[in-house]
Amino acid sequence: MIKTLKTVGSMLGSVLVTLFGLAVITFMIGRVMPVDPVIAAVGDNASEEVVQRTRAEMGLDQPLLVQFWDYLSNVLHGDFGSSVLTHNPVITDIAHYFPATMELATYALVLAIVIGVPMGIWAAVRQGTFTDQMIRVLCLAGHSIPVFVLALLALLVFYAWLGIAPGPGRQGIAYQDMVDPVTGWLTVDALLAGDYDSLRDALSHLVLPVSILSYFSMAYITRMTRAFMLDALKGEYIVTARAKGLSALRVVLGHAFPTVAVQLITVIALTYAGLLEGAVVTETVFAWPGLGQYLTISLMNADMNPVVCSTLLIGLIYVVLNLLADVLYRVFDPRVK
């Protein structure tokens, strides 16, 4: 019991230190940007009196330590200020845009797991064969080709040339605002409303961005699954299982893969965090109204409150998913216990 409490205390302490470091980094991001946030708020033509008054209202005339204390206090109270562009509280904008990113990233992760894990197992079982080489080349391309290149090519080929995919955006013009936002996930909301036409339209708009995002994640998951499986297939218990006359399928899926599945928990958790962060480029190309597009537009217009809040949210997601992966690893792996 004491050992468990020490472990929990150590994990919580590590999380708190990480979050504090993240708060420091996000605070510094807002201070080292070359654009003056006051000028961004009031405009270039504002008088000096207005600039100084706004600077005082924003607390930017205070010493740096005082500014950091105010920033930390506001963050702990969930106050991230307002957006210059939307004039809404940043937390309200994040709550509006983030579900779209989660929907995109979650579907991409599911597709990456469904394709990547079997491919990794297959490549490990067929090590050194033509199949293995082809899978490795496919994964190498997934890591090498920039995401914006594939995204633009996908739009050019499937939307502009072939006309078999819808254009950019989350839904067609005819279906705009047809479904009441309940969860923020358009597919789920359309399903709850029983609007199957909107559901089909939403799913069709998901195909290209989900495929692009899942390809990069699939490449990583496949490569890691292959590496884990190659190591597992060398174990003595695999030799014993084969000596007992078990079928190859049962040896691979019944004995080797369960040990790999525990290791894949961390890989999948980090992949999901990477998808939530990496959706920035994909959302920009496909005009997807999610956190990535919101962050990009805010950054281009020197709207620093949304930038800082989005950065803090992405960092918090990494911390939470890392903690969750660690907990699940301890639950499912008796060796860690």
**Model pLDDT for residues 134-164, shown as the tens digit of each residue:** 999 999 988 888 888 888 899 999 998 988 8
Segment 290-308, tens digit of pLDDT: 888 888 888 777 777 888 8
What is the average per-residue pLDDT within 241-268? 83
- The pLDDT tens digits for 6-23 are 666 776 777 778 778 878
Nearest alpha-carbon partner for 71 in 13, 18, 25, 16: 25
Q: Which long-range contacts (CB under 8 A, 24 or more apart) does 117-123 make?
A: 117/221, 117/222, 117/225, 117/264, 119/218, 119/222, 119/225, 120/221, 120/222, 120/223, 120/224, 120/225, 120/226, 120/228, 120/229, 121/225, 121/226, 121/229, 121/252, 121/253, 121/257, 123/222, 123/226
pTM of structure: 0.86
Structural domains in the chain, CATH included, are 2-76 (no CATH), 90-332 (1.10.3720.10)
109-122 pLDDT, tens per residue?
Answer: 999 999 999 999 99
What confidence tens digit (pLDDT) does each residue in 49-77 have? 887 887 787 777 788 888 888 888 888 88
pLDDT of residue 323: 82
